[in-house]
Amino acid sequence: MNMMGIIFSNIYDERLGEITARRTLASLPFGGRYRLIDFVLSNMVNSGITNVGVITKQNYQSLMDHLGNGGEWDLDRKVDGLFILPPFGQGQKSVYRGKLEALFGTLRFLERSNEEYVLLADTNIICNMDYRQFLQRHIDSGAEISMITKREEISGLGDACDLVVRSDYSGRVQDVLMHYGVPGIENAAIGMYIMKRTFLIELLKEAHSYNLVDFEREIIQAKFPHLYIKELPFDGRILRIDSLGKYFSANMALLDASIRNEIFTRHGLIYTKIRDEVPTRYTKGCRIKNSLIADGCTILGEVENSVLFRGVTVGKGAKLKNCIVMQDTVIEENAELLYTICDKDVTITKSRLLMGAPAHQIIITKGKVV
Amino acid sequence: MVNRKKYIAMLLAGGQGSRLGSLTRNIAKPAVPFGGKYRIIDFTLSNCVNSGIDTVGVLTQYKPLELNEYIGNGQPWGLDRNRGGVHILQPFTKINSKSWYEGTANAIFQNIRFIERYEPESVVILSGDHIYKMDYRKLLAFHEEKNADCTIAVINVPKEEASRFGIMNTDPDGRIYEFEEKPKNPKSTKASMGVYVFRWEVLKKYLTEDDKQEKSAHDFGKNIIPAMLSDQKRLFSWEFSGYWKDVGTTESLWEANMDLLDPNCELSLSDDDFRIYARNFDSPPTFVSEEARLNDCMITGGCTIYGTVTNSVISSDCVIEAGATVSHSVLLPGTVVGKDAKINYAIIGQNTVIESGAEVGCRKTDDIHPEITVIGEKKKITRKPA
């Protein structure tokens, strides 16, 4: 594969509030056994990419723990493999302010790599994608930068799209709108860009000399009239996670068989860190309806429309409905939870009643005892 | 020497396991799936690692492809070591000599060169077809304390079953004076668990002598142990208490799986201090639908359940469609159970498809000694024409 990958692990951290307060967005648990980064990383690996850099900014201990030496993704290699790129300090300057600065800090990694092309990606998009066909389309078009887009609806109910592009019949970008909130169906960027590695290096050096920080605003939006930027639409399904509400609904979307099959298997499996869990134990009298349940759980109570991560215990008489319960959380006897997100290692004590609402879930942060 | 190890383990994994019928048609017994996500060999390998033994030779012979691939470089058990680690030892040709492993003792004899590389004080001989958790450190400490030439782990079995085992007759302090293989009238109930520790220098001598005996079966139980006993060597039995099961037959394999569902069973898989490791798979979590009914069962990741599962162990990536019922059964990885199919008291092999409406297994069977139906791997069971 003649393309390397760069993943930004901290983009949009602040938008998810408490659940990303102590971790990167990339290491946010998702779908019963995954972290968000697993999707983009597995897609890269399944597309034949074997040289991947992960740019980190802050709170990346959980991410490092998750990625390890990259073995689970077959990225523990002698040649290439997985590289975690912590912030690169320059003099008194604090950590980077935007993608351009972050990338500038990895210049040596980019320069020492051999692949002709580079793929930049965020971790907030859940999809199952084969990057090979996008690379081919990029090469065929002769564009300087290609950006992958997806047709998305802007409801106008307070949500705005980060980056909307409009292009001509050939797919060449003719307009770029940021934080666009006018209702309608638009082609939205999904944070994935393909370009030549040498082109990126030159771009970064130039951006550095002008003190540019924001890749989307100062390169894509400011330079599209002078650069050949091509739009590559993706026809598959994506789950975009840029708010807590979207995080909740993306997890719930996995209860739909067609979405699950597409996200988990379309172009290859999604890999994640192994935990040596036992199979899940469903005891006499438990009742499970329409739920996604990972290994290592013990279920005595009732679970409905929920996603349970590895090692969760649901006590006798406990009821969960429309909940997300992360690793090793214990729901004690007769507790009742509705529209609640429990982070890792939470304990909900006996007979507690927690009622969230469809549009406003209750969040119990990591390690809390309720 | 840098590579010196005080103890190493040799794991006999070459047996066919013919009593497991179609389950071992294409794979060796130690590679047979167990307990939803494990293989039988995971127990012995995990015991080694949890007991601080980081050098394990695995002797394979019968249909080793899947077993070799499963063990790989030993990484799932932490046995991918630069010094020591897991080594697959397959039979090999030599100048002017036979090549297959002929008997358990011969298998070890043929690998003397491997063992010598580590200059061990003692060698632990294990078999890869038992389900149990044992801290070998306790056995080794006893072996040292008794200054034994050989220590054999034994377990007390019910008197009426003793004639199915190799029985040790011992002094009160554990010293073995007689060994009887499957005796008609057992004098004791101490059954050999197939776990031996030998002082390497002594074992080496006996293996070398045994190899010269043309009539020998080259077997530990039949030849090596009796020869050592007749020479008055120091042989001791060490009593183990806990869960132990020989899963050599389809009935015992089924029972061992069902034991996992018993809350009072001594075998705990979720014990953090003594975990059983397995090569993991990359399947998504299991989906349980609205109409599914789960009652006292174990289900591994990657499954999709629309039907009813009762008292069963379901391995990874199985599909149980709507209206299907699976009860008192073990589904090995990748089994598909079609709409309205019924499975009762059965073990279904890997990637087998039970088509819509088909029925497998006895409808009625007595719970103590049920008759177990076994379907091999990659089979297709169709509905009986009306």
Q: Compute the distance between CA of residue B282 and CA of residue A269 in angstroms, rounded to an integer.
A: 7
The whole-number pLDDT of residue A265 equals 92
Q: Is A141 exposed, middle or buried (0-12, 13-18, 19+ CB in 10 A)?
A: middle
The whole-number pLDDT of residue A96 equals 74
- Please state whether A94 falls in left (phi above 0), alpha (psi between -120 and 50) or beta: beta
For residues A39 and A101, membership in a common domain is answered with yes
Q: Give the tens place of pLDDT for each residue, A219-240.
A: 999 999 999 999 999 999 999 9
Q: Mark yes or no for CB contact A290/B300 under 8 Å.
A: no
| Average pLDDT score over chain A | 91
3-state secondary structure of B251: helix
Over its length of 386 residues, how does chain B's per-residue pLDDT go in tens digits? 557 899 999 999 987 778 888 888 889 999 999 999 999 999 999 999 999 999 999 999 888 899 999 999 999 999 998 889 999 999 888 877 777 888 899 999 999 999 999 999 999 999 988 999 999 999 999 999 999 999 999 999 998 888 888 899 999 999 999 999 888 999 999 999 999 999 999 999 999 999 998 888 999 988 999 999 999 999 999 999 999 999 988 999 999 999 999 988 888 888 888 999 999 888 999 999 999 999 999 999 999 999 999 999 999 999 999 999 999 999 999 999 999 999 999 999 999 999 999 999 876 666 667 788 999 888 888 887 76
Q: Compute the distance between CA of residue A304 and CA of residue A296 in angstroms, rounded to an integer.
A: 18
Sign of CA dihedral B197, B203, B206, B208: positive
Q: Compute the distance between CA of residue A74 and CA of residue A85 in angstroms, rounded to an integer.
A: 18
Question: Does the residue A271 lie in any domain?
Answer: no
Report the CATH number that the domain containing residue A250 is assigned in CATH: 3.90.550.10
Question: Does the residue A247 lie in any domain?
Answer: yes
- Roughly how many angstroms between the first and final C-alpha of chain A, as a whole number? 50
- Tally of domains in chain A: 2
Task: Examine the fold and report which residue of A240, A265, A290 is the final residue of a domain before the chain moves on.
Answer: A265
Kindly state whether B269 is in contact with chain A, defined as any CB-CB distance less than 8 angstroms: yes
Give the range of the structural domain holding residue A320, as residue numbers without chain letter: 281-364
Which residues in chain B are contacts of A33 at CB distance < 8 A? 284-285, 301
Over pLDDT 90: what percentage of chain A? 72
CB atoms within 10 A of CB A369: 10
The whole-number pLDDT of residue A91 equals 53
- Please state whether B129 falls in left (phi above 0), alpha (psi between -120 and 50) or beta: alpha
The whole-number pLDDT of residue B272 equals 82
Q: What is the dihedral of CA B352, B357, B359, B363, to 10 degrees?
A: 140
Report whether A36 contacts A25 (CB < 8 A): yes
Report the CATH number that the domain containing residue A324 is assigned in CATH: 2.160.10.10
Question: Considering CB atoms only, which of B75, B278, B304 is closest to A276?
Answer: B278
Q: Give the tens place of pLDDT for each residue, A131-155.
A: 999 999 999 999 999 999 999 988 8
> For residue B160, what are the contacts with CB-CB under 8 A and spacing of at least 6?
none
Question: Does the residue A22 lie in any domain?
Answer: yes
Q: Mark yes or no for CB contact B288/A255 under 8 Å.
A: no
Whether the complex's predicted ipTM surpasses the cut of 0.90: no
Report whether A198 contacts A134 (CB < 8 A): no
Q: What is the dihedral of CA A159, A163, A169, A174, to 10 degrees?
A: 120
Specify the higher pLDDT residue, A59 or B264.
B264
For residues A36 and A175, membership in a common domain is answered with yes
Angle, CA of A188, A190 and A193, to the nearest 5°: 115
Q: Mark yes or no for CB contact B297/A282 under 8 Å.
A: yes
- Six-digit token pair at A244? 């807590």
3-state secondary structure of A327: coil
Is residue A269 scored above 90 in pLDDT?
Answer: yes
Q: Mark yes or no for CB contact A289/B288 under 8 Å.
A: yes
Q: Please tell me which residue of chain A has the smallest CA distance to B294.
A: A282
Question: Does the residue A370 lie in any domain?
Answer: no
Task: Examine the fold and report which residue of A265, A289, A309 is the final residue of a domain before the chain moves on.
Answer: A265
For residues A118 and A146, membership in a common domain is answered with yes
Which residues in chain B are contacts of A283 at CB distance < 8 A? 296
Question: Does the residue A274 lie in any domain?
Answer: no
- How far is A9 from chain B, CA to nearest CA, in Å? 23
- Six-digit token pair at B241? 């208490």
Kindly state whether B295 is in contact with chain A, defined as any CB-CB distance less than 8 angstroms: yes
For residues A250 and A213, membership in a common domain is answered with yes
Report whether A178 contacts A162 (CB < 8 A): yes
Q: What is the DSSP letter of A359?
A: T
For residues A77 and A226, membership in a common domain is answered with yes
CB atoms within 10 A of CB B283: 21
Element (H, E) at B116: helix B112-116
The whole-number pLDDT of residue B363 equals 67
Residues 13-42 of B with CB under 8 A from A: 35-37
What ranges in A82-189 are assigned the alpha helix state H?
Answer: 99-104, 107-112, 131-141
Question: If we measure between CA atoms, which residue out of B108, B90, B87 comes closest to residue B99?
Answer: B90
Question: Does the residue A174 lie in any domain?
Answer: yes
The whole-number pLDDT of residue B264 equals 86
> For residue B240, what are the contacts with CB-CB under 8 A and spacing of at least 6?
B132, B134, B139, B153, B154, B155, B193, B195
This prediction has a pTM of: 0.90
Question: If we measure between CA atoms, which residue out of B233, B229, B50, B40 comes closest to residue B138?
Answer: B50
Amino acid identity for residue A66 in this structure: H
Over pLDDT 70: what percentage of chain A? 97
Which residues in chain B are contacts of A327 at CB distance < 8 A? none
Question: Does the residue A270 lie in any domain?
Answer: no
Q: Mark yes or no for CB contact A278/B37 under 8 Å.
A: yes
| Partners of A304 in the β-ladder | A289, A321
For residues A27 and A71, membership in a common domain is answered with yes
CB atoms within 10 A of CB B191: 23
Which residues in chain B are contacts of A290 at CB distance < 8 A? 288-290
For residues A186 and A335, membership in a common domain is answered with no
Residue pairs spanning A and B at CB distance below 8 A:
97
Q: Compute the distance between CA of residue A16 and CA of residue A289 in angstroms, rounded to an integer.
A: 28
Report whether B349 contacts B25 (CB < 8 A): no
Amino acid identity for residue B100 in this structure: W
The whole-number pLDDT of residue A199 equals 96
Element (H, E) at B166: strand B166-170
3-state secondary structure of A40: helix
Question: Considering CB atoms only, which of B37, B290, B296 is closest to A284?
Answer: B296
Q: Mark yes or no for CB contact B285/A32 under 8 Å.
A: yes
For residues A218 and A352, membership in a common domain is answered with no
- Six-digit token pair at B153? 């782990």
Amino acid identity for residue A233 in this structure: P
Q: Compute the distance between CA of residue A299 and CA of residue A293 in angstroms, rounded to an integer.
A: 10
Report whether A250 contacts A126 (CB < 8 A): yes
Which residues in chain B are contacts of A282 at CB distance < 8 A? 294-299, 309
Report whether B296 contacts B313 (CB < 8 A): no
The whole-number pLDDT of residue B128 equals 87
HSE-CB for B141 with a 13 A CA cutoff: 7
Task: Examine the fold and report which residue of A206, A238, A265 is the final residue of a domain before the chain moves on.
Answer: A265
For residues A70 and A43, membership in a common domain is answered with yes
For residues A260 and A349, membership in a common domain is answered with no
User: What Cα–Cα distance (Å) separates residue B181 from each residue in A347, B165, B237?
Assistant: 54, 6, 15
For residues A234 and A304, membership in a common domain is answered with no
- How far is B185 from chain A, CA to nearest CA, in Å? 41
For residues A285 and A322, membership in a common domain is answered with yes
Q: Compute the distance between CA of residue A40 and CA of residue A239 in angstroms, rounded to an integer.
A: 12
Question: If we measure between CA atoms, which residue out of B193, B336, B345, B337 comes closest to residue B257?
Answer: B345
Q: What is the mean pLDDT of residues A87-113?
A: 80
> For residue B177, what are the contacts with CB-CB under 8 A and spacing of at least 6?
B169, B170, B171, B229
Q: Mark yes or no for CB contact A279/B283 under 8 Å.
A: no
Question: Does the residue A272 lie in any domain?
Answer: no
